[in-house]
Amino acid sequence: MERLDKRVAGSLTRFYVVALCVVAMLTISGLFLIRRTISNLNHDSRVVNVAGRQRMLSQRLTKLAILKLEGREHRDSVSFSSLLQLWKGSNESLAHRRLPVGSDFVTWKSPPLDTMFRDLAPVFDRIYQNFLLINADTVSLGDKQNALSEILANEPLFLAKMDKIVFQFDKESFERLENLERIEWILDLMTILVLIAEGLLIFRPVVNTTRRVVRMLTESEDALQLSNQMLKEANYQLLEAQKELLRVEEEKYQLQLAEDRVRAGALIEGQEEERKRFALELHDGIGQMLTGLKLHAEKLKVVQFHDEKHRRRFEQLVQLIQDTIQTTRQVSFNLMPSVLSDFGLASALRLLGEQTADSSGINIEFEGDSSQRIEMSRPMEIGLYRIAQEALNNAVKHANADMIKIKLEQNKNRIVLEISDDGKGFLISNLKSEEGFSLNRNGMENIRTRSQLLNGKMEIVSKVDSGTKLSITVNL
């Protein structure tokens, strides 16, 4: 079923279009009639002027004929023949209802004027023929005198008939003007009636409908505002609930992070304690046993071996014992360097760089003051050392660097540890991708975890073929 609003809108639109079309047609018709009448009036004035000129030309020709017969001089520059031809041509145009105006012709329909021109034709012909006799050189003076007398006798009749023709032209023009005025009044009255009908049948229903729609919209707006207010209150309550939920989730998340940190801290602390215990076991247990074994082996050097092969094997055994002792000391140092607890972090980092340089062949420099120990907590000291150890190990394994630099400085209440290299570098985005560098494989997760446990800030700067720099900032 068609909706009511569409049906009403369609009906009103049709009425409105029809009313506008009627008004437009009436207006256009009035303009057309006015334009046409004005054009006719212009043509009528042209015809009246030509008709009036005919009277003037006949009088002028008569005057010239009299002067010509009497042989008097005159100042009229126009020739008699040209005036006569103009008078004849204008009369023929008026009689045949085809008057040239510019490049066009003016025509009209008037039976009274046709009758008048038929009555005028014999008089015009008699005068014209006599003018021709006067203008002819072969005619005698007596004949010309008789022709002039004939002209003077017929001229008053010609002028009287031309006056009637001019008055008839003017009368018909005035009648057309009055007719136009009547038609204009009729069109104006019809336009007013159409506008009144439009106001009653279209405008008034539209106003009533608009008033009703506005009232309904106002009521709907009030209801909508009330609903919006209720919805706003409900949204506010929902937002409060969401904020509370987010706060609970945030507390839960922070609690979980704290638990993870405590767990990671406990795990790392347990690892460090286990490393310390294992380092002591290696140093005091296996290390001492290997040292004793080395002393007993060196005492056997005084024994003379009869077989040269046995002597070389014994020397290889002594060297193997020495290498085993050195490796045990290195493992013990890596697990828990005694220089860290005895002389502090700077000395431990310097020694770590020297040992790594000896074992890897890479130039490693330490920048820092190792003569003065930086006062910090034991867990912080161990954590920074492990971070440097892990970062240095990554640089040696993956960077393909020629130069590695370890920098430790104290800036007021902050400790800044930097490990930089001139290696091949990598894209930071690859740290989180499955391909390329992996967090666990490169030890970056351990570094991140230790820096978080120390409440420190970790920053990695790296570009391909431009090296890598790891910076750890910890507040004392």
8-31 confidence digits (pLDDT tens) = 566 667 766 777 777 777 777 766
Query: What CA–CA distance (Å, rounded) separates 380 from 386?
Result: 10
Taking only the tens place, the pLDDT of each residue in 126-136 is: 988 988 888 88
205 vs 61, which has greater pLDDT?
Answer: 61
Lowest average pLDDT, out of 33-37, 62-66, 110-114, 193-197, goes to 33-37
The confidence score (pLDDT) of residue 106 equals 67
d(CA 90, CA 108): 15
Which is nearest to 114 in space by CA: 134, 130, 94, 133?
94
Q: How far apart are CA 355 and CA 412, in angstroms?
A: 30
Mean pLDDT of the chain: 77
Distance between CA atoms of residues 444 and 460, nearest Å? 10
Measured N-to-C along each axis, helices 111-135 and 4-70 cross at an angle, to the nearest 10 degrees, of 30
CA geometry: angle at 392 spanning 387 and 396, to 5°?
A: 150
| Angular region, 400: left φ>0, alpha ψ -120 to 50, beta rest | left
Euclidean distance between CA atoms 286 and 296, whole angstroms: 15
Tell me the β-bridge partners of 409.
416
Task: State the pLDDT at residue 273.
Answer: 60
The one-character DSSP state at 283 is I
Q: Are strands 457-462 and 363-367 parallel, antiparallel or unpaired?
A: unpaired
What's the predicted TM-score (pTM) here? 0.42
pLDDT at 204: 77
Residue 437 binned pLDDT confidence (cut-offs 50, 70, 90) = very low
User: Looking at the predicted structure, is the pLDDT value of residue 41 above 60?
Assistant: no
Residue 435 reports pLDDT greater than 60: no
DSSP-derived letter for residue 301 is G
Phi and psi at 458, nearest 5°, equal: -105, 135
Report the candidate in 46, 41, 17 with the shortest Cα–Cα distance to residue 105: 46
Q: What pLDDT does 439 receive?
A: 41
Q: Looking at the predicted structure, is the pLDDT value of residue 109 above 70? A: yes
